[in-house]
Structure 1
Amino acid sequence: MYYAILFSSGEVQNMLKRFGADISKALLAKRKRLEMYTKSSLKTSNQKIEHVWKTQQEQRLKLNNEYSQQFQALFEQWEADVHKTEEQEEKLTNMFRQQQKVFQQARVVQNHRLKTIKQLYEQFLKNMQDLEKNQENLLSSAQNELRKEMAMLQKKILMDTQQQEMASVRKSLQSMLF
């Protein structure tokens, strides 16, 4: 109350206006500083976020490129391996076909040789049978001739013996007679 007495109501109002204006200015200044700090903080945060995002993006891109190159190299090797496998498969198929032809030709040759062997064996058996018949005939013929010769020899021996005996008898008779 003491103050109220000293100051008049106009002065108090003036003081209140000035005090209000000072508070408004102070609030406005604080608000501007807060806005500045907020903008500055947002700007710094955005820069940090943008830097982190760029760093992450660069790292992702680098990692992606690394693995893309490795995958690309592996896929190229895989494709080359598949191509080589296909070529080897084709070569093996061709070799198999050639071997099949060789085996078929060998089978034909073996069948032909088997037929030739069979024919030769049959001819051999026939010739052996013919030879046996011929030998039997020759043996029989030779035996017959031998029998004839033996018979002739026996006759001859018998005749010679008879002649010798006769000669001997003649000599004996002659010696007795003369």
Structure 2
Amino acid sequence: PDESNMADKMAKKRPAEEAACAVGNEFQSMLEKFGADISKVMQAKKKRLESLTKNYMKGSQHKLEQLWNNYHSQRQKMTEQYSQQVSMALQQWETEAQRAEEQEEKFNNLFRQQQKILQQARVVQNQKLKTVRDLYEQFVKTMEEMEKNQESFLQGAQQELRKEMATLQKKILMDTQQQEMATVRKSLQTMLF
């Protein structure tokens, strides 16, 4: 009688073990599916991150090129403006020098009058030379101010780019968290229902 009870118990255990095995297999396939979903999400995130980074780099490069072009055109414009002013001052100075020489030759016999004209010409030449020197000093000062302004402008642009980078990182993090929550919910719903 004991042997028949043992046989009955063994027979009852086999369907229970088979059911447990089937549940284990089903659970394992659900885990594999969950892993495949996570892998797809990670690949999508990677592609999105690459796209966002590429767009951000293009925008940053465009801004820096624009800054450089603006600085270069301002510097070139300023240089041309001062070159014209210096050229005009030098031409006026040369003209005055030529006039002084002509007056010197013309009034060679009139010593006193010639001396007065030469003195006047020297004063004019000194004024023109002073004008050229003043223009040069003003040009140097303006260029230094432009360099300082450009440095502060570039620092401001760098700070703005850092802020944009931080905002972009926060956005990517939020997108990632939202996508992960959606994937987890979807996987949990798939496992539960």
TM score, norm. by length of structure 1: 0.45
Higher relative contact order (CA 8 A, sep 6+): 2
TM score, norm. by length of structure 2: 0.42
